[in-house]
Amino acid sequence: MKAGPSRTSRSQAIYALLLELYPRPYLQHHRAEMLQNFQDLEQESPSKVALWLFLARDLAVSLRIQLARTLCGQTAIVVLVLTLLLVFTERHAVARQRPIESFCFGYIFGWFAGWSGKQWQVSPLINRASSNIRSLPAQATMVVSVVVFVIVLTGAKGGAQSRVIWTLCYGFLLAWIAGWIGNRWQMRP
């Protein structure tokens, strides 16, 4: 008697759909292994309830970790924190709204600049650039030069416009550093 092709259980089909929540690069490396582990767990599990309770805990932890390593996941965290900052300052009148808004705006730009800088540094596609230019100190020098240029160009005379420019640049610099760190964390194995 021939053994027929293995039939996919309903639980396995649902699990395969849930795997689509993971980032694509992660799935490209681990999908087959995860499906095999699921099949093994399903066969050894005493009940479907125990299986899905275990999987719910596992998915909650591993999805959070994998999504936090992506640009989209880290950007969502940054936007959430900045939104909370804006709501807090609005409700409690901690600071004038304008400087906080410009800080947040600068932070978003800096975040993407830091992330892009780190991507540029590790990109195999950009092999023509000298490693000195792609280094953290070289990119930091470029970023600081741009910020100084913006401050000089707008004229640091004082007043409200000057404070907006300074807070925008301050947010940009902080976020550029955070973007570099975030991308470095994302690149960990």
pLDDT tens column, 102-133:
777 777 777 777 777 666 666 665 555 555 66
Q: What is the DSSP letter of 135?
A: S
Which residues have CB under 8 Å from 61's CB, separation 6+?
Answer: none
* Nearest C-alpha neighbor of 106 from the set 133, 78, 134, 87: 78
Angle separating helix axes 71-92 and 97-122, nearest 10 degrees:
170
Instruction: Look up residue 39 and give its two tokens.
Output: 């099949």
Q: Give how far the C-alpha of residue 70 lies from the chain's centroid of Cα atoms, to the nearest Å.
A: 4
Identify the pLDDT of residue 98.
63
Q: In the structure, what pLDDT confidence band is assigned to residue 3 with cuts at 50, 70 and 90?
A: very low
Instruction: Look up residue 72 and give its two tokens.
Output: 């989209």
Rounded to two decimals, the pTM is 0.54
Instruction: Give the side-chain half-sphere CA count within 13 A for 81.
Output: 12
In whole angstroms, give the CA distance from residue 74 to residue 23.
13
In whole angstroms, give the CA distance from residue 182 to residue 178.
6
Using one digit for the tens of pLDDT, what is the confidence trace for 32-81? 999 999 999 999 988 999 999 999 999 888 888 888 777 778 778 888 88
Contact present, 11 and 51 (Cβ < 8 Å): yes
